[in-house]
Structure 1
Protein backbone atom coordinates (compact mmCIF):
# COMPACT_ATOMS: atom_id res chain seq x y z
CA UNK A 1 0.00 0.00 0.00
CA UNK A 2 1.57 3.29 -1.06
CA UNK A 3 0.86 6.91 -0.26
CA UNK A 4 0.14 8.04 3.30
CA UNK A 5 -1.16 5.64 5.94
CA UNK A 6 -1.45 5.71 9.73
CA UNK A 7 -2.53 3.68 12.71
CA UNK A 8 -3.21 4.54 16.34
CA UNK A 9 -2.33 2.56 19.46
CA UNK A 10 -4.04 3.41 22.77
CA UNK A 11 -1.32 3.14 25.42
CA UNK A 12 -3.77 3.61 28.30
CA UNK A 13 -5.84 0.54 27.46
CA UNK A 14 -3.14 -1.40 25.58
CA UNK A 15 -5.13 -1.79 22.37
CA UNK A 16 -5.66 -0.32 18.92
CA UNK A 17 -7.68 2.93 18.97
CA UNK A 18 -10.81 2.31 16.91
CA UNK A 19 -13.26 4.87 15.55
CA UNK A 20 -10.86 7.82 15.86
CA UNK A 21 -11.58 10.62 13.38
CA UNK A 22 -8.59 11.82 11.36
CA UNK A 23 -8.34 14.71 8.93
CA UNK A 24 -5.57 15.33 6.41
CA UNK A 25 -4.74 18.85 5.28
CA UNK A 26 -2.35 20.14 2.66
CA UNK A 27 -0.54 23.26 3.89
CA UNK A 28 0.42 26.10 1.63
CA UNK A 29 1.81 28.91 3.77
CA UNK A 30 -0.97 30.06 6.10
CA UNK A 31 -3.64 28.25 4.05
CA UNK A 32 -4.93 24.77 4.90
CA UNK A 33 -6.89 22.65 2.45
CA UNK A 34 -8.78 19.58 3.67
CA UNK A 35 -7.82 16.61 1.48
CA UNK A 36 -9.45 13.71 3.28
CA UNK A 37 -11.10 12.54 6.47
CA UNK A 38 -11.51 9.01 7.80
CA UNK A 39 -12.08 6.93 10.93
CA UNK A 40 -9.89 4.13 12.19
CA UNK A 41 -11.22 0.58 12.05
CA UNK A 42 -11.22 -2.01 14.88
CA UNK A 43 -7.49 -2.56 14.32
CA UNK A 44 -6.73 1.17 14.76
CA UNK A 45 -5.92 1.44 11.05
CA UNK A 46 -7.59 2.98 8.03
CA UNK A 47 -9.23 0.85 5.36
CA UNK A 48 -7.53 2.92 2.64
CA UNK A 49 -4.62 5.38 2.51
CA UNK A 50 -5.38 8.95 3.55
CA UNK A 51 -3.54 10.00 0.42
CA UNK A 52 -2.79 7.65 -2.47
CA UNK A 53 0.75 7.67 -3.87
CA UNK A 54 -0.38 9.21 -7.17
CA UNK A 55 -1.77 12.26 -5.29
CA UNK A 56 1.29 12.95 -3.12
CA UNK A 57 2.79 16.32 -3.97
CA UNK A 58 5.98 17.69 -2.48
CA UNK A 59 5.08 19.84 0.49
CA UNK A 60 3.88 20.11 4.05
CA UNK A 61 0.83 18.27 5.34
CA UNK A 62 -1.02 18.07 8.63
CA UNK A 63 -2.68 15.04 10.20
CA UNK A 64 -5.30 15.98 12.81
CA UNK A 65 -6.29 13.17 15.19
CA UNK A 66 -9.47 13.74 17.26
CA UNK A 67 -8.17 11.82 20.25
CA UNK A 68 -10.16 13.61 22.98
CA UNK A 69 -13.42 12.28 21.56
CA UNK A 70 -11.97 8.77 21.51
CA UNK A 71 -10.97 8.79 25.18
CA UNK A 72 -14.31 10.31 26.24
CA UNK A 73 -16.12 7.51 24.39
CA UNK A 74 -13.93 5.01 26.27
CA UNK A 75 -15.38 6.42 29.52
CA UNK A 76 -12.27 8.10 30.89
CA UNK A 77 -12.89 11.03 33.20
CA UNK A 78 -10.98 13.87 31.54
CA UNK A 79 -10.65 17.50 32.51
CA UNK A 80 -12.60 20.04 30.47
CA UNK A 81 -11.05 20.88 28.17
CA UNK A 82 -9.12 17.65 27.80
CA UNK A 83 -5.34 17.99 27.96
CA UNK A 84 -5.12 16.43 24.47
CA UNK A 85 -8.30 17.20 22.57
CA UNK A 86 -6.70 16.99 19.12
CA UNK A 87 -3.21 15.87 18.14
CA UNK A 88 -1.74 17.76 15.19
CA UNK A 89 1.18 16.22 13.33
CA UNK A 90 2.86 18.19 10.56
CA UNK A 91 4.93 16.23 8.09
CA UNK A 92 6.77 16.85 4.84
CA UNK A 93 6.07 14.56 1.90
CA UNK A 94 7.94 14.02 -1.34
CA UNK A 95 6.50 11.96 -4.19
CA UNK A 96 9.88 10.28 -4.74
CA UNK A 97 9.18 8.20 -1.61
CA UNK A 98 6.52 5.59 -2.38
CA UNK A 99 5.10 5.14 1.11
CA UNK A 100 4.75 7.18 4.28
CA UNK A 101 3.35 5.54 7.41
CA UNK A 102 2.77 7.70 10.51
CA UNK A 103 1.84 5.68 13.63
CA UNK A 104 0.45 7.52 16.65
CA UNK A 105 1.01 6.08 20.14
CA UNK A 106 -1.29 7.97 22.49
CA UNK A 107 -2.67 8.36 26.00
CA UNK A 108 -4.83 11.20 27.33
CA UNK A 109 -1.64 12.93 28.53
CA UNK A 110 0.97 12.34 25.86
CA UNK A 111 1.79 10.94 22.45
CA UNK A 112 4.58 9.84 20.17
CA UNK A 113 4.75 9.72 16.38
CA UNK A 114 7.37 8.39 14.03
CA UNK A 115 7.83 7.43 10.41
CA UNK A 116 7.02 3.77 10.28
CA UNK A 117 7.18 1.23 7.50
Structure 2
Protein backbone atom coordinates (compact mmCIF):
# COMPACT_ATOMS: atom_id res chain seq x y z
CA UNK A 1 0.00 0.00 0.00
CA UNK A 2 2.68 2.52 1.03
CA UNK A 3 6.22 3.02 2.30
CA UNK A 4 7.53 5.08 5.21
CA UNK A 5 10.87 5.35 7.01
CA UNK A 6 12.28 6.66 10.27
CA UNK A 7 15.91 7.34 11.23
CA UNK A 8 17.02 7.69 14.84
CA UNK A 9 20.45 8.90 15.96
CA UNK A 10 21.26 6.30 18.64
CA UNK A 11 24.18 8.31 20.06
CA UNK A 12 22.23 11.51 20.64
CA UNK A 13 18.95 9.73 21.33
CA UNK A 14 17.25 12.05 18.85
CA UNK A 15 15.63 11.84 15.41
CA UNK A 16 18.06 12.13 12.48
CA UNK A 17 16.54 15.21 10.86
CA UNK A 18 17.48 16.39 7.39
CA UNK A 19 18.78 13.09 5.99
CA UNK A 20 18.24 12.50 2.27
CA UNK A 21 16.71 9.12 1.42
CA UNK A 22 16.07 7.65 -2.03
CA UNK A 23 14.05 4.68 -3.15
CA UNK A 24 15.23 2.60 -6.11
CA UNK A 25 13.55 -0.21 -7.98
CA UNK A 26 15.41 -3.45 -8.75
CA UNK A 27 16.94 -1.97 -11.92
CA UNK A 28 18.38 1.00 -9.96
CA UNK A 29 15.89 3.59 -11.19
CA UNK A 30 15.13 6.26 -8.59
CA UNK A 31 11.42 6.17 -7.75
CA UNK A 32 11.32 8.73 -4.95
CA UNK A 33 13.54 11.06 -2.95
CA UNK A 34 12.77 12.59 0.42
CA UNK A 35 14.33 14.24 3.45
CA UNK A 36 13.63 13.19 7.01
CA UNK A 37 11.49 15.67 8.95
CA UNK A 38 11.91 17.03 12.50
CA UNK A 39 10.88 13.63 13.86
CA UNK A 40 13.37 11.78 11.61
CA UNK A 41 10.52 10.45 9.46
CA UNK A 42 9.39 10.38 5.88
CA UNK A 43 5.80 9.29 6.54
CA UNK A 44 4.43 9.04 3.00
CA UNK A 45 7.51 8.14 1.03
CA UNK A 46 5.58 6.25 -1.63
CA UNK A 47 1.82 6.15 -1.87
CA UNK A 48 1.78 2.90 -3.84
CA UNK A 49 4.40 0.18 -3.82
CA UNK A 50 3.69 -2.77 -6.13
CA UNK A 51 5.19 -6.18 -5.47
CA UNK A 52 8.87 -6.36 -6.29
CA UNK A 53 12.36 -5.81 -4.92
CA UNK A 54 13.48 -2.33 -3.85
CA UNK A 55 16.46 -0.59 -2.29
CA UNK A 56 16.11 2.31 0.08
CA UNK A 57 19.31 4.38 0.33
CA UNK A 58 20.12 6.60 3.30
CA UNK A 59 22.75 9.30 2.63
CA UNK A 60 24.44 8.93 6.00
CA UNK A 61 27.77 10.38 4.81
CA UNK A 62 26.31 13.80 4.04
CA UNK A 63 24.29 13.69 7.26
CA UNK A 64 27.37 12.82 9.36
CA UNK A 65 29.36 15.60 7.63
CA UNK A 66 26.63 18.16 8.28
CA UNK A 67 26.68 17.26 11.98
CA UNK A 68 30.47 17.14 12.37
CA UNK A 69 30.47 13.39 12.97
CA UNK A 70 33.24 11.08 11.78
CA UNK A 71 31.11 8.21 10.49
CA UNK A 72 32.15 4.89 8.97
CA UNK A 73 29.20 4.31 6.63
CA UNK A 74 28.86 6.86 3.77
CA UNK A 75 25.48 5.37 2.91
CA UNK A 76 23.16 2.60 3.98
CA UNK A 77 21.44 0.56 1.28
CA UNK A 78 18.62 -1.67 2.48
CA UNK A 79 17.23 -4.09 -0.05
CA UNK A 80 13.75 -5.42 0.69
CA UNK A 81 10.98 -7.29 -1.07
CA UNK A 82 7.31 -6.36 -1.25
CA UNK A 83 5.18 -9.46 -1.55
CA UNK A 84 1.88 -7.92 -0.45
CA UNK A 85 1.18 -4.63 -2.22
CA UNK A 86 -1.86 -4.02 0.00
CA UNK A 87 0.28 -3.87 3.15
CA UNK A 88 2.05 -0.78 4.51
CA UNK A 89 5.84 -1.14 4.64
CA UNK A 90 7.98 0.72 7.18
CA UNK A 91 11.80 0.62 7.01
CA UNK A 92 13.32 2.20 10.14
CA UNK A 93 17.04 2.71 10.84
CA UNK A 94 18.77 3.06 14.20
CA UNK A 95 22.04 4.86 13.42
CA UNK A 96 25.39 5.50 15.06
CA UNK A 97 28.72 6.45 13.46
CA UNK A 98 30.03 2.87 13.49
CA UNK A 99 26.89 0.72 13.46
CA UNK A 100 23.30 0.62 12.29
CA UNK A 101 20.32 -1.68 12.55
CA UNK A 102 17.02 -2.02 10.77
CA UNK A 103 13.94 -4.19 10.87
CA UNK A 104 10.57 -4.56 9.20
CA UNK A 105 8.42 -2.04 10.97
CA UNK A 106 4.67 -1.62 10.94
For the criterion TM > 0.5, the same-fold answer is yes
Q: Which runs of 4+ in 1 moved over 4 A?
A: none
Aligned to 2:44: 49
Q: Write the deviation string for residues 56-101 of structure 1: whole angstroms up to 9, x where unpaired.
A: 211100000001111111122x2xxx52000000000124442011
Aligned to 2:64: 71
Query: What is the RMSD of the two structures over their aligned residues, measured on CA atoms?
Result: 1.4
- Please give the residue correspondences for 1:19-34 in structure 2 after superposition, counting only pairs within 5 Å: 19-27=18-26, 31-34=27-30
Aligned to 1:12: 11
Determine if contact 1:68/1:108 at 8 Å carries over to the other structure: no
Residue 84 (structure 1) aligned with residue 73 (structure 2)? yes
Which of residues 93, 101, 106 is equivalent to 2:82? Answer: 93
How far does residue 115 in structure 1 lie from its aligned partner after superposition? Answer: 0.8
SS at match of 2:61: helix
TM-score between the two structures when normalised by the length of structure 1: 0.84
Gaps of 5+ in 2: none
Q: How many residues align?
A: 106
Residue 62 (structure 1) aligned with residue 61 (structure 2)? no
The structure with the greater share of residues assigned to strand is: 2
Gaps of 5+ in 1: none
